[in-house]
Amino acid sequence: MENQTLTDKALALLRRFFGYTSFRDRQAEIISAITSGRDCLVLMPTGGGKSICYQIPALLQPGVAVVVSPLIALMKDQVQALIACGIPAATINSTQSDEENLRIMESVGRGHIKLLYMSPERLLLDATRWPENMRISLFAIDEAHCISQWGHDFRPEYARLSILRELFPKVPVIALTATADRLTRDDIAARLALRNPAIFISSFDRPNIRLTARPNPGRETKLKMIGELIRRYADDSGIIYCLSRKSAEQTAAELKARGYSVAVYHAGLSPDERDRTQHDFIHGNVQVVCATVAFGMGINKSNIRFVVHNNLPRNIEGYYQEIGRAGRDGLPAEALLFYSFADIATLRSFIDEGERQMINMEKLTRMQEYAETSLCRRRVLLSYFSEHTDSDCGNCDVCLHPPTRFDGTIIAQKALSAIIRCQEKVGANMLIDILRGSARTDIISRGYDRIRTYGAGRDLPASEWRAYLLQMLQLGFIEIAYDRGNHLRVTPYGRSVLTGATNVTLARFLHERHNTAPTGKTPKTDRKTGRKTSAGCSATTTATNLADQALLKELKRLRMALAKIEGVPPYIIFNDRTLCEMAQTRPLTKDEFSSITGIGETKTEKYWKHFTRAIKKFSE
């Protein structure tokens, strides 16, 4: 009974401030647990809706909720979004003056702030000096995996957060992360000294993100494919992750030369330059950012429609977090991954020796397996997060273009024989050139043009050879000698292919699958939640009413103008999903306007006139 009224109150707050009609998945349970004073550990994918889990409890209870977050950009973004919804929130951080920070602490003291965002360093510095009577409703530790050595993003300043428990034994702690492996999870609970925590693990599925992976098809094709994505989502934005600064710069330059709106972001730029890029991206002044991994963590931008990985990422956790930045609004989005032999070699060389070496190697291997799989990619991903599904997803490249298999014994024998005839002293690229009979000078000078298999693979293009070699690697016929110039070696299993004792089945390389960018069909309804994953409003859905599209463009223009005036990113005003619903339902009164998903009381008051007027005008 008591729980019921709590949930009712929580729901009323969700409607009033956020304009959402119902809680997702486990949100209600989590809110009720933390509000009753229980420590919580929440595992939810990026974009899953973690923030609501502590924001609503903060509103339900007296006092201030203190939120720990690793990045200033992230804090500012959240605070802006909360204020836009009419919730008093603030951040204390090193980019603000002492006076400003002092002023904020005074309003916290007067009970005027419901959510206070801080970095861990700042919190540990300040907490000992807080007045005895300061009322703290809860501590929320966002990106909690940063506390764990086992996580993929360890931050020493998080490690000291364990003293919160000693300083504030009565205040419940909620730790939230998108990293789900068991080791990290247990480590978080231990390091934060959580007391008998309630553990909530949501589905990690993000069904609206289309997954595609393919062997690097070569620079030109790659740029062409990226260009197609950029054009397909001309009104929205995307991120291209690169392994190095140099490749980020180069990719950006090449795309710019093709006329696209692109910026770069990496650690080699000054903080000012980086801030500017981030600002331009968030505010919609630049469409695409080519970035090294540092980019995106602080970005809550909801209309990122595609995330491209130019190279294989180091591990699945990081990869999943990065692609999770696409399609936070639930509308169709794309994740496109390119990978190559060279990536695997480079990434291996990055892995330091020491305690974590084995784990990092293992993580890289799992990432590689994901890239090379010929099973439903979403199933592979979800099983990595210990989530098992009983059906294929229908929204990954493997599901959409199932590979056909064929007897590849002869192909494999040609490659294996060439490797042996070159004394196992060539890498993948050279091997392909030898098989295709290239007259590269180093091939001639080393006499590889005289081996029997020189030119024996002329009939297949290099991209196809690359794909088959990767499959042979995955099947265990060859291995890469990472300690010896990444030369290819034939395993004992591979030798059994040469003697004819083992046959090889390969997945047919389809040009259709490998040479075009993923296509934008509408994904299915979310299997688990039944949530529609497309509001039928993506620029790619052919069934969408053209007039709605035109109105949507108009509404986006209005949103942009308002955002400029207020100096906030457009998505802080309304996300795309809300605008889509608006374009479809065309509210003309204040009541109709307020019933749209994502429009709470504050935003209704502030914007209903602007938008209903624009809709009226458009309809005439």
Buried b (16+ CB within 10 A) or exposed e, 375-414: ebbbbbbbebbebeeeeebebbbbbbeebeeeebeebbbb
In contact, 334 and 518? CB cutoff 8 Å? yes
Taking the C-alpha atoms of residue 504 and residue 410, their distance in angstroms, rounded to an integer, is: 8
Q: Which of 26, 50, 266, 487 binds ligand ADP (CB under 6 A)?
A: 50
Considering only the stretches 15-23, 170-178, 249-257, 375-383, report the one whose residues sit in contact with Zn ion under the rule CB under 5 A: 375-383
In angstroms and rounded to an integer, the radius of gyration of the C-alpha atoms of the chain is: 26
Helix, strand or coil, per DSSP, at residue 368: helix
Q: Which of 10, 13, 23, 192 binds ligand ADP (CB under 6 A)?
A: 23
Interface pattern 203-242 for ligand ADP (x via CB under 6 A): ----------------------------------------
Nearer residue to ligand ADP within complex by CB, 179 or 360? 179
What contacts 73, CB < 8 A, 6 or more positions away?
A: 278, 297, 298, 299
Nearer residue to ligand ADP within complex by CB, 23 or 319? 23
539 C-beta neighbours (distance < 10 Å), count: 17
Nearer residue to ligand ADP within complex by CB, 302 or 340? 302
E strand segments, 365-485? 405-407, 478-481
According to the binding rule CB under 6 A, does residue 26 interact with ligand ADP? no
Interface pattern 395-414 for Zn ion (x via CB under 5 A): -x--x---------------
Nearer residue to ligand ADP within complex by CB, 139 or 509? 139
Nearer residue to Zn ion within complex by CB, 374 or 549? 374
According to the binding rule CB under 5 A, does residue 209 interact with Zn ion? no
Considering only the stretches 26-34, 286-294, 369-377, 500-508, report the one whose residues sit in contact with Zn ion under the rule CB under 5 A: 369-377
- Give me the least distance between CB of 15 and ligand ADP, in Å please: 10
Please state the three-class secondary structure of 100-119 as a single string.
HHHHHHHHHHCCCCCEEEEC
| Distance, C-alpha 613 to centroid of its chain | 37
* DSSP letter assigned to residue 507: E
- Give me the least distance between CB of 427 and Zn ion, in Å please: 32
* DSSP letter assigned to residue 21: S
Nearer residue to Zn ion within complex by CB, 388 or 617? 388
Taking the C-alpha atoms of residue 11 and residue 15, their distance in angstroms, rounded to an integer, is: 6
Please state the three-class secondary structure of 144-210 as a single string.
HHHHCCCCCCCCHHHHHHHHHHHHCCCCCEEEEECCCCHHHHHHHHHHCCCCCCEEEECCCCCCCEE
According to the binding rule CB under 6 A, does residue 20 interact with ligand ADP? yes
| Binding to Zn ion in span 247-276, by CB under 5 A | none
Nearer residue to ligand ADP within complex by CB, 329 or 397? 329
Q: Which of 230, 291, 292, 302 is nearest to 263 (CA)?
A: 291
Helix, strand or coil, per DSSP, at residue 428: helix
Considering only the stretches 46-54, 119-127, 154-162, 544-552, report the one whose residues sit in contact with ligand ADP under the rule CB under 6 A: 46-54
Question: Of Zn ion, ligand ADP, none, which one does residue 48 interact with (CB within 5 to 8 Å by kind)?
Answer: ligand ADP
Please state at what angle helix 245-257 crosses helix 219-232, rounded to 10 degrees: 70
According to the binding rule CB under 5 A, does residue 393 interact with Zn ion? yes
- Give me the least distance between CB of 175 and ligand ADP, in Å please: 13
Q: Which of 35, 46, 179, 533 binds ligand ADP (CB under 6 A)?
A: 46
In contact, 555 and 614? CB cutoff 8 Å? yes
Question: Of ligand ADP, Zn ion, none, which one does residue 393 interact with (CB within 5 to 8 Å by kind)?
Answer: Zn ion
Rounded to whole angstroms, what are the CA distances from 488 to 161, 343, 430? 47, 15, 10
- Give me the least distance between CB of 7 and ligand ADP, in Å please: 13
| Distance, C-alpha 42 to centroid of its chain | 18
Question: Of ligand ADP, Zn ion, none, which one does residue 376 interact with (CB within 5 to 8 Å by kind)?
Answer: Zn ion
Considering only the stretches 23-31, 125-133, 136-144, 373-381, report the one whose residues sit in contact with Zn ion under the rule CB under 5 A: 373-381
Question: Of ligand ADP, Zn ion, none, which one does residue 46 interact with (CB within 5 to 8 Å by kind)?
Answer: ligand ADP
Helix, strand or coil, per DSSP, at residue 352: coil
- Give me the least distance between CB of 335 and ligand ADP, in Å please: 15
Q: Which of 41, 44, 269, 393 binds ligand ADP (CB under 6 A)?
A: 44
Taking the C-alpha atoms of residue 228 and residue 214, their distance in angstroms, rounded to an integer, is: 16
| Range list of H helices, 373-408 | 377-384, 397-400
Considering only the stretches 1-9, 19-27, 429-437, 517-525, report the one whose residues sit in contact with ligand ADP under the rule CB under 6 A: 19-27
Please state at what angle helix 409-421 crosses helix 428-435, rounded to 10 degrees: 110
Q: Which of 15, 24, 425, 436 binds ligand ADP (CB under 6 A)?
A: 24
Taking the C-alpha atoms of residue 450 and residue 443, their distance in angstroms, rounded to an integer, is: 9
According to the binding rule CB under 5 A, does residue 136 interact with Zn ion? no
Nearer residue to ligand ADP within complex by CB, 331 or 551? 331
What contacts 389, CB < 8 A, 6 or more positions away?
A: 205, 378, 379, 382, 527
According to the binding rule CB under 6 A, does residue 49 interact with ligand ADP? yes
Considering only the stretches 44-52, 331-339, 535-543, 550-558, report the one whose residues sit in contact with ligand ADP under the rule CB under 6 A: 44-52
Taking the C-alpha atoms of residue 206 and residue 105, their distance in angstroms, rounded to an integer, is: 39
According to the binding rule CB under 5 A, does residue 376 interact with Zn ion? yes
Considering only the stretches 239-247, 296-304, 391-399, 438-446, report the one whose residues sit in contact with Zn ion under the rule CB under 5 A: 391-399
Q: Which of 177, 300, 533, 538 binds ligand ADP (CB under 6 A)?
A: 300
Q: How many residues contact ligand ADP, by CB under 6 A?
A: 16
Q: Which residues are near ligand ADP by CB under 6 A?
A: 20, 23-24, 27, 44, 46-52, 300, 302, 328, 575
Q: Which residues are near Zn ion by CB under 5 A?
A: 376, 378, 392-393, 396, 399
